[in-house]
Amino acid sequence: MDDLDHKSTPWLNGGFDIEGVVAAFAVFLGALLLGWLWGPLFWLGFVAFVAVLLATRWAGRTPPAMASAIVAPCDGIVVSVTRMEAPPELRMNDASVTRVRISSAPTSTNKVYTPISGSLEHVAVEAGDSSILIAMRPDDEGMARAWLCFESQGQQVGIRLASGGFGPRIDIDMTGGDIARLGKPCGSRRLGGWCDLYIPVGAGQLIWPGQTLVGGETVIGRLRSDTDEAEDVFELQREAAEAVAEEDPFEPVIEEEESDDQYLSPEETNISEEDPAILFARLREAARRSEEGE
DSSP, residue by residue, 48-60: HHHHHHHHTEEE-
pLDDT tens over the chain, length 294 residues:
567 777 777 777 788 888 788 888 888 899 899 888 888 889 988 988 888 888 888 888 999 998 899 999 999 999 999 999 999 999 999 889 999 999 999 889 999 999 999 999 999 999 888 878 777 888 888 899 999 999 998 999 999 999 988 777 899 999 999 999 999 999 999 989 999 999 999 898 899 999 999 999 999 999 987 555 445 544 555 555 565 555 555 444 444 454 444 444 544 444 444 455 666 667 777 777 766 665
Distance CA 128, CA 116 (A): 27
131 and 116 in contact (C-beta within 8 Å)? no
Give the number of residues written for the chain. 294
pLDDT at 24: 85
Q: How far apart are CA 26 and CA 16, in angstroms?
A: 15
Check residue 58 and give its pLDDT.
Answer: 87
Contact 172, 145 (CB under 8 A): no
Instruction: Check: CB of residue 30 under 8 Å from CB of residue 59.
Output: no
Angle between helices 18-37 and 39-55 (to 10 degrees): 170
Q: Residue 196: what are its φ and ψ, rounded to 5°?
A: -105, 120
- The whole-number pLDDT of residue 196 equals 97
pLDDT tens figures, 21-44: 888 888 889 989 988 888 888 998
Q: How is the beta sheet containing 144-152 ordered, strand by strand?
A: 179-180, 118-126, 144-152, 155-163, 193-200, 96-104, 76-85, 212-213
Q: Output the pTM of the full model.
A: 0.72
SS3 of residue 261 by DSSP? helix
